[in-house]
Homo-oligomer: A and B are copies of this chain.
Amino acid sequence: MAHGSARPTSRDVAQAAGVSQAAVSLVLGDKWRGRVSEATAERVRQAARELGYRPNLAARNLRLGHTRTVLLVVPALTTEFFAGVYTGAARVAAQHGFGVVLYPSPEGIGPARDPFASAQAALDGVIASSMAADALTAIRGDQLPLVMLDSDPAGSLGAATVNLDITDGVRQVAAHLLNLGHRRILHLAADIASWTFDVRARELAARIGEVPGTSLLTVSAPISIEGALTAAATALSAKGPRPTAIVCDDDKLAAGAYKAVRRLGLRIPDDISVTGLDDLALATAIDPELTTVRLDAELFGERGMQALLAVLEGREPEAGDIPVELVVRGSTAPPRAP
């Protein structure tokens, strides 16, 4: 501390406490039992407090060879869902002394060649959510421990995967609607090529196909209220018998479907039932409240982080998809008698 402006180092603390730098490291690193007397330890802590000492993380990371920091790659941050994933991951991380850096992958953020350019932090591992395959291989090339969220287990190049049981969610939605008596169903799908949406389409088609006399029409739309409104309105005003239920790939699309239905002068659920998927705040804000599949985003993030910790420690990540739950609200009802 020759001139007062620089941040104090452990050596400054040592000098102030009249001990060696090693002693400071020992005391502050809580490894001093039987190596330093209680009195000296207290003197060191005192000096550190007075100088406002904070260890230089860069130096520590260099010395230790790891950073206790992981990267969370998400497709976007525009809904609460991935915010929840982050929150869950960060919570578990913090419990284990880790930090989480976020990288929202798509357009916009900088020279997005690869996540690591933007995330300046040195990383111990990566959690990647709903990632495209090319970006995946870029990460794999880095040899970093990797956990994939919401991704095709078959195509993950051996990386650990953690998934929500979307298939079961769609199964529950289909069963619910079929039980109510719906036979003509419109699938309002997201226009994004991604495993998580493929699963929805596949499972829905399979379940509907099991029941004789059913029909399934699929239209896709960008994931936005406006986009969904347009697509749904077009599909609903086509000639021929009108669907009695709309299954949406997520809640935002469902909100658009609501507006399309209303614009055509129809009512939910009397004329048309609507279901979503996510259970965002949106789902209970709209009227009637939306029947949807609740995804526990935070648990998802927690499990993702736990899996990554397992990989880092050489353990086997916990297997098994995360259960989801159909939440029946006011947007679904039996279809009118024909």
Chain A interface residues toward B at CB < 8 A: 7, 52, 54, 56-59, 61-62, 67-69, 77-80, 83-84, 86-87, 90-91, 93-95, 97-102, 104, 108-112, 116-122, 141-143, 225, 252, 255, 258-259, 262, 281-282, 284-287
Contact = CB atoms under 8 A, between A and B. Distances in A.
Nearest to A66: B58
**Which of A94, A112, A116 gathers most chain B CB within 10 Å?**
A94
Contacts of A69: 120-121
Given A94-B110, A111-B94, A225 B56 contact: no
Contacts of A116: 54
Nearest to A254: B285
**Which of A58, A100, A117, A286 gathers most chain B CB within 10 Å?**
A58
Contacts of A122: 56-58, 61
Nearest to A71: B99
A131 to B, nearest CB: 18
A236 B142 CA distance: 60
Contact of A52 (B143, B281, B285, B287): B143
Contact of A99 (B61, B77, B119, B285): B119
Contact of A91 (B86, B93, B110): B110
Contacts of A282: 281-282, 285
Contacts of A77: 80, 83-84, 86-87
Nearest to A96: B110
A294 to B, nearest CB: 15
B285 A287 contact: no
Contacts of A108: 87, 91
Contact of A61 (B58, B90, B118, B284): B58
23 contacts: A7-B143, A56-B62, A57-B67, A58-B58, A58-B59, A67-B120, A67-B121, A68-B120, A69-B121, A77-B80, A77-B83, A78-B84, A78-B281, A79-B281, A94-B112, A99-B101, A99-B120, A101-B101, A225-B284, A252-B285, A259-B287, A282-B282, A286-B286
A38 B93 CA distance: 45
Contact of A104 (B78, B87, B110, B225): B87
Given A52-B143, A62-B58, A281-B225, A90 B109 contact: yes
A89 to B, nearest CB: 10
Contacts of A110: 90-91, 93-95
A90 B104 contact: yes
Nearest to A77: B83
Contacts of A120: 57, 67-69, 97-99
A54 B121 CA distance: 12
A41 B184 CA distance: 66
Contacts of A142: 52, 54
A52 to B, nearest CB: 6
A135 to B, nearest CB: 16
A251 to B, nearest CB: 9
B91 A109 contact: yes
Query: What 5 A-B pairs are tightest by C-beta distance, nearest first?
Result: A94-B110, A99-B120, A57-B122, A58-B61, A77-B83
